[in-house]
Amino acid sequence: MNKKNVLILCTANSCRSIMAEALLNAKLGDCLVAQSSGAKASGMVNPNAKALLEEKGYWRDEYHSKVIETVLDTSFDLVVTVCDHAKENCPMFPKSVKTIHLGFDDPSGKAEEEYEKTLLLIEKELLPVVKKELCHV
């Protein structure tokens, strides 16, 4: 079975998009490959987000903050924006691709439990949508 490609797009690609990428790969990796990038990537992964993903067993060493230009040539089946800024600044991809928006509040700079809340929201709201779109099971 050919796995579908999904891109999770955020502004800084340091927290929400990385958490969504890790969660999708961990939970739906049998039918898709998730990547993430940022409209204005920060170049670093939020340490609290990384620690939470490691604790849950979702972290992979290849996860890192990357600019959108590094993935523009990838043929995606779905692009998901997870913040309003990324939605407004989503680039045009070489081939037509379905884009959906599911916004999540940025937990950066907030208490550690906010990261857990965001991860649970991503799991509850984003996973079913992506599964329905790409994993016809």
Residues annotated as catalytic (active site), given as ranges? 10, 83, 90
SS3 105: coil
What are the backbone dihedrals phi and psi of residue 8, each rounded to the nearest 5 degrees, phi first? -105, 120
Q: Round to whole Å and give the CA distance between 117 and 71.
A: 28
For residues 69 and 132, give the distance between their C-alpha atoms in angstroms, rounded to a whole number.
28
Q: Determine contact, residues 9/113, Cβ cutoff 8 Å.
A: no
Beta-carbon contacts of residue 56 (< 8 Å; ≥ 6 apart): 26, 119
The C-alpha atoms of residue 90 and residue 93 are separated, in whole angstroms, by 9
